Amino acid sequence: MKRSNVAIIFMAMIFGAFVVFSETADAKRMGGGSSFGSRGSKSYSAPQQAAPRSGLSQSSSTPYSSTRPGAAAAGGMFGGMGSGLLGGLGGFMLGGFLGSMLFGGMGSGMGAGGGGFGLLELILIGGLLWFGFRWFKRQRAMAPAGGPSSPGLGGFNGAAGRVSDMMNHSREGVGHGLPQSFKIGASESESGVDEVSQGVGHIASMDPTFNEGHFLEGARVAFQQLQKSWCDGHIENLRPLLTPAMMERIQADLRARQEANLNDVIENIQFRKAEISEAWQESGEDWITVHFQVVMLEYATDGRGVVVEGDRSTPVNVEEFWTFTRPVGSKNPNWSLAAIQQPGQALN
């Protein structure tokens, strides 16, 4: 193989790797995309994906969406290509493949004396690959998901007590509506109820006012409130929504960002999914893990307001598992965030 062809393929692979790296070079949301906190005995296990729920209505597990005004669905042949071709190793391989096709084919057509493409052409092609990737990523992220509208932040700013109340009690003052076949203490095979519903059932048996849908509504608002307070630098205002260990960790992370003169911005939060993936009781505590799939704008600016991390116009996809806890049977319970986990990761 000619030395020029080797160099061309190497450059194409670099551009492909740059595409992959760029997908993770986003600004720091609260938690920084890491896994930390405590989930009791489950701390050393990766979070579970939510399994199909037995006997529950479809609305209990339907992805939740808050579509940003003006956002259009990605259509045409490119509607779903972003994740299939440009995600993970696909971006790396595609970059190398296109480089070989473009440079190898066109370079050979110029003859032995042509010498292939120069540095300028390599930069131009790399730029086209980069902007094409950004376009695909933006179209994929902006595709709306069906569901009710977001409650938004209006009326909840700084209202940690209100968020906690939403997560605890149903508007009707009744239980969460498990299937009639459910029996407290029965095994899954005996009751025909899945593990999550069993866990929720045990929690509801100690608090008849607990409502699963109402809890998830409060969890979504808590997600928004905590991200907003992180960006505003006012985490102290929402201390009731964090366990002491989480409060200490998040405050330390926030100080580090502030010392680096970075201002994080989270905007246009859209919930693709917010559902209970695990629910259990242990050591006198209720535990519920919520699986979030969210699309949002995530970037950081410096002291001059210049974007230095992320992109103010390209939404990013975020998938995290948040675990909330409270004392079992508390008459005035406050659900507190005890852990944040990334998919497939145990707690550090």
Query: What are the pLDDT digits (tens) for 69-107?
Result: 333 333 333 233 333 333 333 444 444 444 444 444 444
Please name the residue that has the structure tokens 């939510």.
Answer: 50
Residue with the larger pLDDT of the pair 65 and 256: 256
When pLDDT is averaged across residues 7-15 and rounded to a whole number, the result is 52
pTM of the model: 0.62
- What confidence score (pLDDT) does residue 296 get? 96
Contact 260, 269 (CB under 8 A): no
- CATH classification (class only), 31-71+147-341: alpha beta
For the chain, residues classed under CATH 3.10.450.240 are 31-71+147-341
**In the Cβ-directed half-sphere of 239, how many Cα atoms lie within 13 Å?**
4
Q: What is the mean pLDDT of residues 332-348?
A: 88
Four-residue CA torsion sign, 249, 166, 344, 185: positive
Q: Is 262 exposed, middle or buried (0-12, 13-18, 19+ CB in 10 A)?
A: middle
Q: Are 302 and 223 in contact (CB under 8 A)?
A: no
* The pLDDT of residue 187: 40
Average pLDDT, the chain: 70
Question: What is residue 32's predicted lDDT score, i.e. its pLDDT?
Answer: 87
Task: State both tokens at 194.
Answer: 């899945």
Let me know: does 92 contact 20? Beta carbons within 8 Å: yes
Number of H helices, E strands in the chain: 10, 6
Tokens of 220: 């979504």
265, 301 contact by CB (below 8 A): yes
Confidence of residue 333 (pLDDT cuts 50, 70, 90): low
Chain-centre distance for alpha carbon 145: 15
Read off the pLDDT of each residue in 39-53 and give the average, rounded to a whole number: 84
| β-pairing verdict for 307-310 and 263-282 | unpaired
85 by Cβ neighbours in 10 Å (0-12 / 13-18 / 19+) ranks as: middle
